């Protein structure tokens, strides 16, 4: 007893010994969360159910057990530390049993040694992974009429958007021109009140709106004047992703007096629940994200979209998949919630994924069939290409070219970077008016401190007939997107083309002995760039889309998990925007934006998953994922194998044959996914067995993070019944089994296997007949013939006599003994 008191005395002194302001930590505790608690504690009935539809989160058992866990968290902290020395932020009760707290480092060490504490992890930041696509994916004709009906696409399904909030007044979320929405008895989300307008954020389409910033506040990163302490989107990103997933159908996309088409979400009648965790200046914190996910599942969402991800694999656990973030998502899947997450924007380089675990559907980004090209015709007859999203110069006439460097009011203004054409007050309006203004493209455009929108505004204020922004120096990794403009304009991204333009301008401009221009004789006209050019080579894997292989630890060793899982449109996507959004300088003040990122790809899959959940309400998240993956396309619209955008040795963009590490199983095919024939299902226990089978895993660490225990039979990670096969270290022969379940009529399938010749692969049986609802096992044997040090790519094909085609991608690397 004396020793215990002494230990407590030392712990109470720790706040006085700690240094600095401390950090936020995430703690997991012994004891089951709500979704897993099967009873055993006196006075508290079991809360675990087979599915979320059976769980009543308002029941006495759920409420009392949640309060019990929260009380335990509070009691632990109060027993260790002085009340003023820490700040508890959240209690996590539903998906994981734990809490987040602001502590000193010394306190975190003491906490990690306390009875009942399983795991302590310092909080990390997360970041954003930043119209036409419903038609491109065949939704209006192939899916919407056969799902809930043409006007009921996603009806009564709730998609939870964990993002930067929403601009609720946008037409994409309006209810005044739609059929009335009925009640959602099983959804219990909250709707915050806007502190400025005192109005509710919800309207029937938006059924939940909450913000999570306690960890950000504790870390000192939150500025309420800038970041909005409400679900209001101050960034634009969250509004955009919400509209892609479930925005209203047929909303006109208007900018600068031109309509660029009509925007529709993937599941236009689905409801939206907003969980704001991302903020303008700093992104977000894992503690807040975990709290939002926990709340979303409690509220009863059907699908979660995560267009956010960590900055790197977790460094505090031996295994990538073992961390509070992925553990919360695993519990969400256990509760029947489908999770789509953006793959990341670190491409085209390998091992840049920020979405790792097999229970998550990781989405890569594709370039669809639209290209916004434009041309400028010079006075010497040369036609130069570039990017444009603007009208043509007036009456197809040519106008005089003037370079910004020749129209400066004073040479002393060079300190303001005037060549970017961001400030009209630095330029001579008399020399610019009625002419085409030629501007430079500095690193300021790359960093976001300069924008094409501002160039257009400058040209308009000065009365210019149009503008050209020309890239003179290449910036490796820069992605150039067309930007809508009211004034005729073009962005020339090729350095060689820019040189041709400058050479023509210099030859056509007369100068005096001091180099000052005396006569501008160069002329040009800008073509109409408002209409997109359609390409049959679509889709292509976008250059920025993160690539596999997946990694199993912070040392970036390959995992036996194929990632990404699937490809969806993510380049130049038109969707709703928050007018006060600051994420894209080119769209400040606008109601729509056309932006790119795997952030845009993930909500496509979330919306399509909502359509599938509507048609198959009893399907597990793994079943939906399987249907999406096994029916995906690996050919482009011209019938050729998919290609991926890459960088050449000279850092120019080129196309190369795409692999499963680029696109996973292929590009999503919604119509086929709604009728997959066969599925490969997996349960929560299967995922736990997967974690326990990881080489070198500590079973105690699995228990600490998930609360589940490993059994004695370990197996291999590739034994997980996933709709793909990945073996990173194939020594000799390995046999992998997959169980398929028939979700259609009785059908006979012929099974074939093919892979590059350095690996031998056989699948058995060669054929099988499966009754409705029945399951059968496929055995796949892989043997290393010779070691190449490279991955081999292949597939298992199951071709049914009723027209179903099921494809399971295979990646394997042969290794010596």
> What does the block give as tokens for 541?
């894997």
Rounded-to-integer distance, Cα 483 and Cα 244, Å:
19
Around 526, how many Cα atoms within 13 Å sit in the side-chain half-sphere? Answer: 33
Indicate if 599 belongs to the active site.
yes
Around 486, how many Cα atoms within 13 Å sit in the side-chain half-sphere? Answer: 16
Rounded-to-integer distance, Cα 258 and Cα 161, Å:
30
Q: Any idea of the CA torsion for 505, 508, 512, 516, to the nearest 10 degrees?
A: -20
Q: Which helix (H) or strand (E) holds 416?
A: none
Task: Tell me whether strands 805-815 and 725-731 are parallel, antiparallel or unpaired.
Answer: parallel
Q: What is the DSSP string of 636-680?
A: -TTSSBPEEEEE-TTS-EEEEE--HHHHTT-B--HHHHTS-SEE-
Catalytic residue among 85, 525, 599, 665: 599
Rounded-to-integer distance, Cα 19 and Cα 80, Å:
18
> What does the block give as tokens for 501?
């333009």
Backbone angles phi, psi at 459, to 5 degrees: -60, -40
413 Cβ contact list (under 8 Å, min separation 6): 426
Collapsing DSSP states into helix, strand and coil, what is residue 719?
helix
Q: Are 170 and 239 in contact (CB under 8 A)?
A: yes
Rounded-to-integer distance, Cα 365 and Cα 552, Å:
23
Indicate if 21 belongs to the active site.
no
Rounded-to-integer distance, Cα 668 and Cα 687, Å:
24
Cα 323 to chain centroid, rounded: 19
Q: Are 765 and 795 in contact (CB under 8 A)?
A: no
Closest among 251, 306, 255 to 132, alpha carbons compared: 251
Q: Are 95 and 33 in contact (CB under 8 A)?
A: yes
The residue behind tokens 């720790």 is: 14
Q: Which helix (H) or strand (E) holds 438?
A: strand 436-440
Indicate if 683 belongs to the active site.
no
Catalytic residue among 73, 102, 170, 237: 237
In 452-521 the beta strands, taken as DSSP E runs, fall at: 466-470, 489-492, 509-511, 517-520
Measured at the alpha carbon of residue 51, what is the angle toward residues 563 and 564, in degrees to the nearest 5?
5
Cis peptide preceding 765, ω within 30 of 0: yes
SS (H, E, C) 716-777: CHHHCCCCCEEEEEEECEEEEEEEEEECCCCEEEEEEEEECCCEEEEEECCEEEECCCCEEE
Collapsing DSSP states into helix, strand and coil, what is residue 26?
strand
> What does the block give as tokens for 693?
């089978």
Q: Give the residue ranges of DSSP H helices in 561-666.
A: 598-615, 621-630, 660-663
Catalytic residue among 102, 108, 132, 163: 163
User: Exposure pattern of 571-604 as b/e (b: 16+ CB <10 Å)?
Assistant: bbbbbbbbbebbbbebbbebbbbbbbbbbbbbbb
570 Cβ contact list (under 8 Å, min separation 6): 363, 364, 365, 366, 542, 545, 596, 597, 598, 599, 600, 601, 604
> What does the block give as tokens for 443?
């690193």
Q: Are 550 and 356 in contact (CB under 8 A)?
A: yes
Instruction: For residue 748, give Cα distances in angstroms to 542, 643, 801.
Output: 37, 33, 6
Closest among 796, 734, 743, 793 to 765, alpha carbons compared: 796
728 Cβ contact list (under 8 Å, min separation 6): 549, 557, 558, 559, 560, 812, 813
Q: Are 608 and 147 in contact (CB under 8 A)?
A: no
Sign of the four-CA dihedral 686, 688, 691, 695? negative
| Residues noted as catalytic | 163, 237, 599
């Amino acid at each position: 007893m004396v020793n215990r008191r002494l230990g407590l005395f030392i712990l109470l002194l720790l706040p006085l010994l700690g240094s600095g302001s401390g950090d936020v930590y995430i703690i997991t505790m012994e004891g089951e969360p709500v979704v897993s608690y099967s009873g055993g504690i006196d006075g508290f009935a079991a809360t675990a159910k087979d599915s979320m539809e059976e769980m009543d989160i308002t029941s006495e058992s759920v409420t009392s057990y949640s309060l019990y866990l929260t009380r335990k968290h509070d009691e632990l902290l109060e027993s260790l530390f002085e009340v003023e020395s820490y700040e508890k932020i959240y209690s996590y009760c539903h998906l994981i049993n734990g809490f987040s707290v602001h502590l000193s480092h010394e306190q975190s060490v003491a906490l990690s040694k306390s009875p009942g504490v399983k795991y302590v992890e310092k909080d990390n930041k997360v970041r954003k992974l930043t119209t036409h696509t419903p038609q491109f994916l065949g939704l209006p004709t192939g899916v919407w009429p056969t799902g809930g009906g043409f006007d009921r696409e996603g009806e009564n399904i709730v998609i939870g958007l964990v993002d930067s909030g929403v601009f609720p007044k946008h037409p994409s979320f309006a209810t005044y021109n739609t059929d009335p929405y009925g009640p959602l008895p099983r959804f219990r989300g909250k709707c915050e009140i806007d502190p400025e307008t005192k109005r509710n954020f919800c309207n029937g389409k938006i059924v939940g709106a909450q913000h999570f910033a306690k960890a950000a506040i504790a870390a000192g990163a939150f500025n309420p004047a800038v970041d909005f302490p409400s679900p209001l989107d101050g960034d634009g990103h969250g509004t955009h992703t919400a509209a892609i997933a479930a925005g209203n159908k047929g909303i006109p996309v208007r900018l600068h007096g031109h309509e660029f088409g009509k925007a529709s979400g993937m599941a236009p009648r689905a409801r939206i629940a907003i969980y704001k965790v991302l903020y303008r200046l700093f992104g977000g914190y894992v503690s807040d994200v975990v709290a939002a996910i926990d709340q979303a599942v409690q509220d009863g969402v059907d699908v979660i979209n995560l267009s956010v991800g960590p900055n790197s694999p977790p460094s505090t656990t031996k295994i990538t998949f073992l961390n509070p973030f992925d553990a919360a998502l695993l519990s969400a899947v256990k509760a029947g919630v489908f999770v789509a997450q953006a793959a990341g924007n670190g491409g085209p380089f390998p091992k840049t994924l920020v979405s790792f675990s097999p229970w998550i559907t990781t989405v890569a980004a594709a370039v669809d069939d639209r290209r916004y090209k434009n041309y400028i015709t010079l006075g010497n007859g040369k036609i130069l290409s570039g990017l444009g999203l603007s009208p043509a110069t007036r009456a197809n006439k040519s106008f005089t070219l003037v370079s910004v460097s020749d129209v400066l009011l004073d040479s002393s203004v060079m300190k303001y970077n005037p060549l970017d054409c961001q400030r009209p007050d630095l330029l001579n309006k008399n020399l610019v008016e009625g002419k085409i203004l030629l501007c430079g493209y500095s690193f300021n455009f790359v960093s976001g401190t300069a924008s094409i929108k501002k160039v257009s505004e400058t040209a308009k204020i000065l009365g210019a007939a149009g503008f050209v922004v020309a890239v003179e120096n290449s910036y490796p990794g820069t992605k150039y997107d067309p930007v809508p403009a009211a004034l005729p304009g073009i962005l020339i991204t090729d350095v060689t083309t820019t040189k041709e333009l400058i050479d023509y301008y210099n030859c056509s401009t007369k100068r005096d002995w001091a180099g000052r221009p005396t006569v501008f004789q160069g002329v040009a006209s800008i073509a109409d760039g408002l209409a997109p050019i359609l390409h049959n080579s679509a889709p292509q894997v976008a250059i920025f889309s993160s690539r596999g292989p997946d990694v199993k630890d912070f040392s970036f060793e390959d995992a036996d998990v194929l990632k990404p899982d699937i490809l969806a449109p993510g380049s130049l996507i038109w969707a709703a925007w928050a007018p006060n959004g600051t994420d894209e300088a080119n769209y400040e003040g606008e109601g729509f934006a056309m932006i790119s990122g795997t952030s845009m790809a993930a909500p496509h899959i979330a919306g399509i998953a909502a359509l599938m959940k509507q048609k198959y309400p009893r399907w597990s998240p793994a079943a939906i994922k399987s249907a999406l993956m096994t029916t995906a396309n690996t050919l482009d619209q011209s019938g050729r194998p998919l290609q991926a955008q890459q960088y050449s040795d000279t850092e120019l963009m080129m196309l190369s044959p795409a692999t499963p590490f680029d696109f996973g199983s292929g590009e999503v095919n919604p119509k086929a996914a709604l009728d997959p024939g066969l599925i490969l299902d997996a349960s929560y226990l299967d995922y736990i067995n997967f974690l326990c089978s990881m080489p070198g895993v500590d079973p105690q660490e699995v228990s600490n993070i998930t609360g589940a225990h490993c059994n004695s039979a370990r197996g291999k990670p590739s034994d997980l019944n996933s709709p793909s096969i990945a073996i990173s270290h194939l020594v000799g022969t390995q046999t992998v089994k997959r169980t398929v379940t028939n979700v259609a009529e009785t059908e006979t399938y012929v099974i074939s296997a093919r892979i590059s010749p350095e690996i031998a692969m056989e699948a058995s049986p060669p054929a099988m007949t499966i009754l409705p609802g029945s399951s059968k096992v496929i055995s796949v044997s892989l043997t290393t013939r010779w070691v190449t040090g490279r991955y081999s790519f292949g597939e298992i094909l199951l071709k049914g006599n009723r027209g179903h085609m099921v494809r399971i991608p295979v990646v394997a690397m042969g290794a010596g003994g």
